[in-house]
Amino acid sequence: MNQKSQKRKILRFLSGKINKEIDIFCIYQWIERCYFHEWCKLAVALGSHVPPNSLDQHFHKRLEYLLSECRSKLKEQNKQIELERPELHQPFTFTIKLQVSPEEATAWLNSISNRKLERALINNWHCNQEGYVSAQSVLWLYCWAKTGMGSEQAAQAAQSVFDRIFPFTYGFFDSRLDHEWARKM
């Protein structure tokens, strides 16, 4: 199997789209392949699918080594990203007026049942008493509406909330904005 098709198969397994049973040794081999190709995030994600004492002791030692190396590489990559990331000393200065009250907008956002969104809401939703929302908050909600952070249900709920609280629709905003740019901002 070539590199791209193997990666697609691993991603389908991690997303739960593979219905047949995958044995533990196959997952071990995938982790080795991920280590070799430096797909560290995938290797770490696959590591949680290997129960303790499910492989021979030697395989478990090798598995622990591979996963620790992948975690180290991920930490190193994250540090490098932090060093390379330009500081945004001045956040966007424009704001957008909500078409509902700030309390109603917050209630709509809280109606989205997703734990990741609930935790992120505190740090990323900035609205003043007059109902003006920072550009970063609009982009944050747009990114949630676009991807749902892996949850189609959360994405649809965020799109619905987006349409209700802003004076423009998600579809209109999405047609004029690059998601990757929004994510970076």
Determine if the pTM surpasses 0.75. no
pLDDT value for 88: 47
Per-residue pLDDT of the chain (185 residues; tens, 9 = 90+): 678 888 888 888 887 777 677 888 888 888 899 888 888 888 888 888 888 778 888 888 888 888 888 888 888 877 765 555 444 444 556 788 888 888 888 888 888 888 888 888 888 888 888 888 888 888 888 888 888 888 888 888 888 888 889 888 888 888 888 888 888 87
Spatial contact of 31 and 43, defined as CB atoms under 8 Å apart: yes
